[in-house]
Amino acid sequence: MVRRKGVLDTVITGAGVRTSHWQVVNALGKAIIAGEFPVGTTLPGDAELEARFEVSRTVLREAMKTLAAKGLVVPRARIGTRVTPKSQWNLFDGDILTWHFAVGVDENFLLHLSEIRLGFEPHAAALAARHASEPDIIQMMHLAVAMGDPSHTPETMAIADLRFYLSVMEASRNPFMRTVGSLIEAALAGVFELSSPATADIRITDVSSSHIRIVEEIRRRDEDGARRAMENVILVGRNRILGARPATAPGGNGDNDASPVRAG
């Protein structure tokens, strides 16, 4: 499966597309997210922005269209381009998520991400238990086992984590699930920034085991079991962010269903 570049790649490498259009979009997007242009204010005029970024009016207007499509701004005749309320921002957009991490996110932001993941990924695991083919299961197991490689760096662990989750989404056979990939990347990128099983006092083998359990439930065609196994891993990650004692996934038994093994 070929993976597109997204939030996680940007956080890990710091690299981005270097076109003039993207430079304008990226700079203004980050400035809006950071509050340099507060909600309700109007962006500087075309002439000022053209001089600031050294771009043509055509490039600037295309950049404004891109920002408007993401819900960050809205053009107003005879008024200018105004920053929209945060409720209108498309938080599922990979660029907007990347900009949030670029300017800094707080604990609440990461907790909100984990809450949304709980709404999608456990159900994706249950659907995978229903629809996954044998090749799907073999691939998921391969990825889960590979997460136990002791040579992992924080970067390679983050990528391995993402590949596993995307493989579950694919195996769910629900095309809408695949569209939440940027959201998953953002959650993993946030954890990557905070800590990583490859550097923290956490056993890599436990990381692998928690993911292998998900695949085993899928292989057994146990939808409830797959759902609970996925919930557990997400809840462990949420509580690791909080620095609290790990919680038990709904339906778990308390001691065995949750252990501080990972942050993703």
Question: What are the tens digits of pLDDT across the range 121-149?
Answer: 999 999 999 999 999 999 999 999 999 99
- Residue of 64, 62, 26, 69 whose CA lies nearest to 45: 64
CA angle, 248 then 252 then 255, to 5°: 65
β-bridge pairing 80-83 and 73-76? antiparallel
Percentage of the chain modeled with pLDDT above 90: 52
Q: How far apart are CA 17 and CA 30, in angstroms?
A: 15
* Tokens standing for residue 255: 């001691």
Q: What is the mean pLDDT of residues 180-195?
A: 68
Which residues have CB under 8 Å from 115's CB, separation 6+?
none
Instruction: Give the model's pLDDT for residue 104.
Output: 85
Residue 2's pLDDT is what?
Answer: 39
Q: What is the pLDDT of residues 85-122, one digit of tens each?
A: 999 999 888 889 889 888 888 888 888 888 888 999 99
Using DSSP's 3-state secondary structure scheme, residue 239 falls into: helix
The Cα–Cα gap between 211 and 216 comes to 9
DSSP assigned state of 250:
T
User: Mutual orientation of helices 20-34 and 46-53 as an angle, nearest 10°?
Assistant: 110
Check whether 159 has a pLDDT greater than 70. Answer: yes
pLDDT at 13 over 90: no
Q: pLDDT at position 5, please?
A: 54
What is the share, in percent, of the chain residues with pLDDT greater than 70? 78
Angle of the 94-103 helix axis to the 181-194 helix axis, nearest 10: 20
Q: What pLDDT shows up at residue 248? A: 45
Q: Going along the chain, which residue ranges are E strands?
A: 73-76, 80-83
Contacts of 73 (CB under 8 A, 6+ apart): 32, 43, 64, 67, 81, 82, 83, 84
Looking at the DSSP assignment, which residues form a beta bridge with residue 81? 75
- Read off the DSSP letter of residue 86: G
Q: Does the pLDDT value for residue 185 go beyond 80?
A: no
Least confident of 9-23, 56-70, 109-123: 9-23
Check pLDDT > 50 for residue 246: no
Task: Considering only residues 256 and 243, tell me which one the structure prediction assigns the higher pLDDT.
Answer: 243
Q: Give the pLDDT of residue 8.
A: 63
Q: What phi and psi values does residue 258 have, to the nearest 5 degrees?
A: -140, 130
pLDDT value, residue 11: 58
End-to-end CA separation in angstroms for the chain: 20
* CB-based contacts of 202, cutoff 8 Å, min separation 6: 260, 261, 262
What is the structure's pLDDT at 194?
Answer: 58
Length of the chain: 264
Mean pLDDT of the chain: 83
**Average pLDDT rounded to a whole number, residues 175-204:** 67
- Residue 256: pLDDT band with limits 50, 70, 90: very low
Residue 184 has what pLDDT? Answer: 77
pLDDT band per the 50, 70, 90 thresholds, residue 3: very low
Average pLDDT over residues 21-28: 95
Given a cut of 80, whether residue 179 has pLDDT beyond it is: no
Q: With the CA atoms of 101, 104, 108 and 111 taken in that order, what torsion angle do they form, in degrees rounded to the nearest 10?
A: 30
User: What's residue 217's pLDDT?
Assistant: 98
